[in-house]
Amino acid sequence: MKGGMTAIAFHASHEQIHPRELLEAVVHAEHVGFDAAMCSDHFAPWSERQGHSGFAWSWLGSALQATGLSFGVVNAPGQRYHPAIIAQAIGTLAAMYPGRFWAALGSGEAANEHITGDVWPRKDVRNARLRECVDVIRALLAGEEVSHDGLVRVDRAKLWSRPEQPPALVGAAVSVATARWCAEWADGLITVNAPTDHLRRMIDAYREAGGRGPVHLQVHLSWAPTQDEAEAIAYDQWRSNVFAPPVCWDLTTPEHFDVVSAEVPMARLAEVVNISADLSRHVGWLEEYVDLGFDQIALHHVGQDQRPFLDAFGEQVLPKLRA
C-alpha cells in the first residue's frame, strides 16, 4: 500500500442499517478486500429517514466472531454509559479477540445522551468528564480497584476478566484544539474528512503536542453508477449531518435534525461528503488522505445499500490505493 501501509477500513453505520444487514455487509467487506472495520455507537439516528440504531456492543461481538478484521468503535462515556461499564465492555472484547479491538472516546452529542434525563453539560464540562472517564477506564483495564468522586462517581470497581494487553484508547476530535488536547491522554487520534489543510493541521497539532499512536480518518462518501443517484443518496441520508459544532452536539432528536436540514443545498452537502459516480475521483480523494499520513482510513458510504459500493470499491478502488 501507499503511505506507509495505510489500512483501508469499512465503516459500519448503525444509524442507517439493520444490525443483521450490517453484519452481512462487514463480512462482505472482508471478502472484497477491506483491511479492517469500525462502527458508530448511537442511541438514535441523525434523521428519521435513516431509521435504525442498533446497540454497537452487542453487534461488535458478532462482527469480531464472523470476520478476522480488527475493529474500532467511537464511544462517549460519562452520561449514557458509566465508564466502569465501558471498561468492562472494552476489556471483554479485547480479551476474546486479542489485538483486534480499539475504542475511540469522545465527549458525545446530546442526541444520544439526553435519554438519561440528566442535564447536558457545557463543552468544557463534557471534556473534563471525558478526561475523568479515560483515567477510570485505563485504571480498570490495568487491573486496579477504582473509587472516584468527581463528575463521574465510581465505588470499588474492579475488572475480573481483562485482556493481557489493554487495547488502544483513541481520542476523537474535529478541531485542532481538541486534537492537541487529545495528545495528553490518547493512544491515537481519529477525525472525519475535511479540507486537507485542516486535516494536516490536526495531525501536526496532535504530534507536536506529543501525541502517540496511529491516526485514523473516517471518510463520508456517496457513490452510485450515475452522478444523479450518488447525489440523491447523499441528500436523502446525510443532509442532516452537515452542521458544525455546536449545533450537531446540542440538538436532541432525529426530528430536530430533519427540521433544520430541510433546506440544505447540495453544495453544502458536498463539503462533508465526497459525492461522485467517478471511482477515479474517489481514488484521488483517498490518495490525498493517504499522503497526509493517516494510518487507517475508514470508508463510510452514506447509502443504506452497501453491497454495490463494497463490490465497486473492492474491485476498482482498493487495488489502486495499494499499487
pLDDT tens-digit profile of 204-255? Answer: 999 999 999 999 999 999 999 999 999 999 999 999 999 999 999 999 999 9
Catalytic residue among 11, 42, 216, 301: 42
Catalytic residue among 11, 15, 30, 109: 109
d(CA 97, CA 251): 36
* Strand-strand pairing, 153-157 and 189-192: unpaired
Residue 33 has pLDDT above 80, yes or no: yes
Instruction: Using pLDDT thresholds of 50, 70 and 90, give the confidence band for residue 4.
Output: low
Residue 3 has pLDDT above 90, yes or no: no
Q: Position 266: which residue type?
A: M
Least confident of 2-11, 25-34, 134-143: 2-11
Whether the link from the prior residue into 77 is cis, omega within 30° of 0, is no
Query: What pLDDT shows up at residue 5?
Result: 86
Tell me if residue 148 is catalytic: no
Residues in the chain: 323
Query: What pLDDT shows up at residue 124?
Result: 95
Largest CA distance in the chain: 58
Tell me if residue 271 is catalytic: no
Query: What pLDDT shows up at residue 2?
Result: 42
Determine the 3-state secondary structure of 215 from DSSP.
Answer: strand
